[in-house]
Amino acid sequence: YVFEQFDNKKLQQLSLTINMLMKENTFWFMLGISGCTHPADHSPKENIQLLQVQKRLQALYPGKHDFKILKDKSAITISLSILLDEMN
């Protein structure tokens, strides 16, 4: 989804940031992409791949996850946190 948003002809400099953290029973993941010329042209709600990801998360981690996509004029940020079951 994310790379579908970029127009290669207008792309000047793309910056990709990935952060992951596992603390106690919570896994956090954040993907940030900046340097795109117009990421806000398409709604993430219209993208079938993101809808499938949201459905899978709901099926696997009902009430135990938070999935967000934030867009502005030149950046896209995708964040995910999952509360995992304790391992015995």
CB 79 within 8 A of CB 66: yes
pLDDT of residue 75: 83
Rounded CA gap, 17 and 4, in Å?
A: 17
> How does DSSP classify residue 87?
P
Q: What are the helix (H) ranges across the chain?
A: 48-60
CB 31 within 8 A of CB 71: no
Q: What are the tens digits of pLDDT across the range 10-35?
A: 556 778 899 999 999 999 999 998 87
pTM above 0.85, yes or no: no
Q: Where are the beta strands (DSSP E) in the chain?
A: 15-23, 26-34, 65-71, 75-83
- 54 C-beta neighbours (distance < 10 Å), count: 15
Nearest residue to 80 via CA among 1, 5, 26, 2: 26
- Residue ranges in the chain modelled with pLDDT below 50: 88
